[in-house]
Structure 1
């Protein structure tokens, strides 16, 4: 989850099992999905990335495989055999490694209730231009459709930091048109602003409420989506070059070629 997911997704071979759980729940603690999330989430089918980032929904191993976030699904009972087979390899030839992992790989079906089976509905709601419009469309649908999925989706969004939600939506929309390197560099700027409390101290409030005080009820500031203006969000994307205490992130020029080679 979170940073761990970002590191793992840079692997050439991303092996999951029936025990794997993936999520980017940062808005629930006043942050936003980073570590390249605006790149890899924006490249999921339709607007599934917006759904994952705004709701913090958990995804299992089978869903990761189906979505493309994982390259292989291996039953946990076969992990030791797979590891033993890989330990006996004396080459770094990707084709050889791929062939070995394939010997233990499966293609499990999606479980009933998987959000991937609701991709049409997700595209309908999460393609909207703003978080307010997304929520409004879900609430309008809930009047006629009492589906519990709609209710839990609305609640997940409303429990998150309004500022974080708006920052993330802009981030993933920009990420669709940017390279991996550009996404990482931009997210570094955004994270710097969050740490500096440029528009909100929600990160500190969220961590305290979730992990320190454990009240589970953070008091977000601003408290509503309507109070988070476009001008406020703009500030979180403003370069910090003029501040010597917050130098820009300088990644190797080969970063994008690595991302493409790894299928991201």
Structure 2
């Protein structure tokens, strides 16, 4: 065998070896690609970790499909006494549903937009009716779909890093995931204000608004989790006791009054009207810097979204959660047929020019007949519980 043959053999061997190393890496990356959601039994609890930190734990269909059956299993399991849900990465609990994916599916006329909302709302309802205490650690950004997998549970723990918002009127949607149920039940007209303007609440204000049941300094979260997991066959009262004790130890922003408190009279008087036009007129007449700021915000929102949202909340205020979710499913499907959702996603998430061209472009062009169309029954396609 000549020297050349030896070199050829060696180079072939090294390229084979290289190929093997590359393959091994690929195989490892397939195996190490982190699951979107972690479901673990720890101590006395079932623990759900939303695990897409790069996209702020946005809720995908795949995640919903894993969480729902596991929730049902744990609910039946005599060894599981509570369920904890949290987000990975320290930045967000969950920044909402996977809106961009939905918009793409809508444009491709895929059935996903029907299925996603149906399964998401079914999960929201399962959380609300869950027989085991459900503890949501809403540390970080908690928006839209993230509110849906937390607000309906028995306990919601905010931290100084919590940022809550329902900004859907700015993307041609409406505050869904049961927003029509919990928003009108917040103090005064606070929920109407949050729904129409997408106003952000931060930290302790999330607790003061009644969205969170407890507030804990974020550095105490590991201790909170540890104490919950160490409980032996706990009752809901035992769990509440642990939350209460850490709540009392958390001093951050304790002496600051809520950002909305000083404006509560204005919120109550301006947002108690029965039409969006009247709310705008109330704000205009009020004329305070706060009212003018809200006017500016509302004028940027989708006129259609504003009108369906106000009606959603007014109707939802006297409905049960399953009835609200049935109504919201109708609204979601009508929004998927309409113009503004795609345009909102384009302006806010894709081109990011923040200047959507709504159609209809003004409130007066959105007729009562248009609004009624959004609330029409879907017959056999209605969401039923």
- Residue 200 of structure 2 is aligned to residue 58 of structure 1: yes
Q: Name 2:300's counterpart in structure 1.
A: 159
- Residue 382 of structure 2 is aligned to residue 248 of structure 1: yes
Q: Which runs of 5+ in 2 are unaligned?
A: 1-142
- Measure the CA separation in 2 of the matches of 1:82 and 1:237: 43
SS for the counterpart of 1:185 is helix
- Measure the CA separation in 1 of the matches of 2:177 and 2:165: 13
The answer to which structure, 1 or 2, has the higher relative contact order (CA under 8 A, 6+ apart) is: 1
Shift of 1:64: 2.0
SS for the counterpart of 1:15 is strand
- Residue 378 of structure 2 is aligned to residue 237 of structure 1: no
Matches within 5 A, 1:2-41: 2-41=144-183
- Residue 373 of structure 2 is aligned to residue 217 of structure 1: no
Work out which of the residue numbers 162, 171, 177 in structure 1 matches 2:312.
171
SS for the counterpart of 1:41 is helix
> Relative to total residues, which structure has the larger strand share, 1 or 2?
2
Shift of 1:109: 4.1
Q: Is the contact between residue 162 and residue 222 of structure 1 (CA under 8 Å) also seen in structure 2?
A: yes
Q: Name 2:99's counterpart in structure 1.
A: none
Shift of 1:67: 2.1
SS for the counterpart of 2:185 is coil
TM-score by length of 2: 0.60
Shift of 1:84: 1.1
SS for the counterpart of 1:99 is helix
Shift of 1:72: 0.7
- Per-residue CA deviation, residues 87-132 of structure 1 (Å, 9 max, x unaligned), is 2112241111111111210475474571133111111100011111
- Measure the CA separation in 2 of the matches of 1:22 and 1:241: 34
- Per-residue CA deviation, residues 124-154 of structure 1 (Å, 9 max, x unaligned), is 1000111111111111222xx4x2x222211
- Measure the CA separation in 1 of the matches of 2:346 and 2:332: 18
Q: Is the contact between residue 72 and residue 101 of structure 1 (CA under 8 Å) also seen in structure 2?
A: yes
Q: Name 1:204's counterpart in structure 2.
A: 342
- Measure the CA separation in 2 of the matches of 1:53 and 1:226: 20
SS for the counterpart of 2:215 is strand
Q: Is the contact between residue 180 and residue 312 of structure 2 (CA under 8 Å) also seen in structure 1?
A: yes
Q: Name 2:271's counterpart in structure 1.
A: 126
Q: Which of structures 1 and 2 has the bigger CA Rg?
A: 2
User: How many residues are matched?
Assistant: 240
User: What RMSD, in angstroms, separates the aligned Cα atoms of the two structures?
Assistant: 1.5
Q: Is the contact between residue 36 and residue 180 of structure 1 (CA under 8 Å) also seen in structure 2?
A: yes
Work out which of the residue numbers 300, 308, 321 in structure 2 matches 1:180.
321
Moved >6 Å (runs of 4+): none
Q: Is the contact between residue 205 and residue 258 of structure 2 (CA under 8 Å) also seen in structure 1?
A: no
Call closer, same or farther: CA 1:111–1:157 in 2, change over 3 Å: farther
- Measure the CA separation in 2 of the matches of 1:56 and 1:16: 19
Q: Is the contact between residue 28 and residue 159 of structure 1 (CA under 8 Å) also seen in structure 2?
A: yes
Q: Is the contact between residue 163 and residue 222 of structure 1 (CA under 8 Å) also seen in structure 2?
A: yes
- Residue 255 of structure 2 is aligned to residue 117 of structure 1: no
- Residue 275 of structure 2 is aligned to residue 137 of structure 1: no
Shift of 1:50: 0.7
SS for the counterpart of 2:184 is coil
SS for the counterpart of 1:14 is strand
Q: Is the contact between residue 208 and residue 258 of structure 2 (CA under 8 Å) also seen in structure 1?
A: no
- Measure the CA separation in 2 of the matches of 1:111 and 1:151: 24
- Residue 190 of structure 2 is aligned to residue 48 of structure 1: yes
Q: Name 2:212's counterpart in structure 1.
A: 70
